[in-house]
Amino acid sequence: MSASLADAAPLSPTALALRRFLRNGTALVAAAVVVLAALLAVFAPWIAPQDPTDADLFRRLCAPAWAAADTAAGYWLGCDSLGRDILSRLIHGARVSLSVAAMVVCIAAVIGTLAGLAAGYFGGWVDALISRLVDTLLGFPYLVFAIGLMAMMGPGLHNIVLALVLKEWIFTCRVVRGETLAAREQDYVEAARALGCSPGHIMLREILPNVLSPVLVVATFRMAYVIIMEASLSFLGLGVQPPTPSWGSMVSDGREFLVDAWWVSTLPGLCILALVLSINLASQGLRDAFDPRLHQSS
């Protein structure tokens, strides 16, 4: 055992975790779906077959290619109530969903990690202040909190990100605070103090690398939730404004025609489902990979 360890090329804990992740089939497929969605989002203008904002009432509610014979050619997934191509709108909608989710999760992870490190490491009044703030924010129902903020600030992409970040950072913060409390008691932190390292150095260079993997896992889990939140806000008309396509507002647009033209609402709904499910499965795979104690099942 020790001999094989010594012979192996130096592998960081992160590299070992990635290796475990790559052996997990379900998570790998899910990750592939997420990557595909990300690629669609990034290259949307080149991939989308039509202009997503090009309205034509002659194409109003025309059916997907497989559902009817007399549908407009080149509009594979049919058209919405203004005759806009649903496929192109879905591809462009992925941009909004993923960019909002990525921005919110990244900003929240940075803020939450720094706040959690400070709360866990310094303790005392710093911890009391941050923890009470977290508890207070936790007391608000998420959607109500976001709706309230959006109503105050007005709709728009930047405001969605801001409103969601204001709530989202607490999830990372709580995890990092707990991990920091545990890491703070480790001998290597004591050793760093004995070597004369400053608190900033200890937090960022000694503790941070050891709490980073739960941050990654929480961030991916939260990403799925943020996508649903953005879709909910857009559904309620508080999100990105027309004509920018967003999956949430597309579901909302189609709900009057659900009986006559099911595809207008259903297709963006399926996209949300597929993306959120994939992110969840992928992040479960990540969690298993980064926490071998839970990995005993396979």
Partner 1 sequence: MSAPLLSVRGLRTVFPTRRGPLAAADGVDFDIAAGEALGVVGESGSGKSVTFLSVLGLIRPPGRVEAGEILFGGRDLRRMPAPELRALRGRMLALAMQDALSALNPSLTIGTQIVETLRAHGIPGDPRAEAVRLLGRVGIPDAARRLGDYPHQFSGGMRQRAMIAISLAARPRLLVADEPTTALDVTIRAQVLYLLDELRVEDGLAVAMITHDLAVVAERCERVMVMYAGQVAETGPTAEVIARPRHPYTRGLMESLPRLDQPDRPLHPIPGQVPDLAAVDAGCRFRNRCALAVAACAAPVPLRDVGAERLSRCIRAEEVS
Footprint of partner 1 on this chain (CB under 8 A)?
A: 2, 5-6, 8, 10-13, 186-188, 190-198, 201, 205-206, 209-210, 212
Shortest reach from residue 121's CB to partner 1, in Å: 13
Q: Residue 193 or 255: which CB sits closer to partner 1?
A: 193
Tell me which residue of 118, 114, 136, 139 sits closest to 127, measured CA to CA.
Answer: 118
Shortest reach from residue 187's CB to partner 1, in Å: 4
Shortest reach from residue 215's CB to partner 1, in Å: 13
Q: Residue 85 or 206: which CB sits closer to partner 1?
A: 206
Q: Residue 59 or 184: which CB sits closer to partner 1?
A: 184
Residue 200 tokens read as 């900033």
Q: Residue 10 or 139: which CB sits closer to partner 1?
A: 10
Tell me which residue of 13, 165, 34, 145 sits closest to 94, measured CA to CA.
Answer: 34
- HSE (side-chain half, CA atoms, 13 Å) at 263: 23
Q: Residue 2 or 297: which CB sits closer to partner 1?
A: 2
Q: Residue 13 or 242: which CB sits closer to partner 1?
A: 13
Shortest reach from residue 197's CB to partner 1, in Å: 5
Q: Residue 124 or 141: which CB sits closer to partner 1?
A: 124
DSSP codes of every residue in 70-115: SSPTT-TT-B-TT--BHHHHHHHHHHHHHHHHHHHHHHHHHHHHHH
Q: Where are the alpha helices (DSSP H) in the chain?
A: 2-7, 13-22, 25-42, 44-47, 86-122, 124-139, 142-153, 157-184, 187-194, 199-201, 208-235, 247-254, 263-290
Shortest reach from residue 206's CB to partner 1, in Å: 6
First to last CA, the chain: 20
Shortest reach from residue 209's CB to partner 1, in Å: 4
Tell me which residue of 83, 154, 82, 124 sits closest to 74, measured CA to CA.
Answer: 83
**92, exposed or middle or buried, with CB in 10 Å at 0-12, 13-18, 19+?**
buried
How many angstroms separate the CA atoms of 173 and 19, rounded? 28
Shortest reach from residue 148's CB to partner 1, in Å: 40
Shortest reach from residue 111's CB to partner 1, in Å: 22
Q: Residue 72 or 212: which CB sits closer to partner 1?
A: 212
208-235 helix and 247-254 helix, angle to the nearest 10 degrees = 30
CA distances from 235 to 40, 219, 249 (A): 22, 24, 4
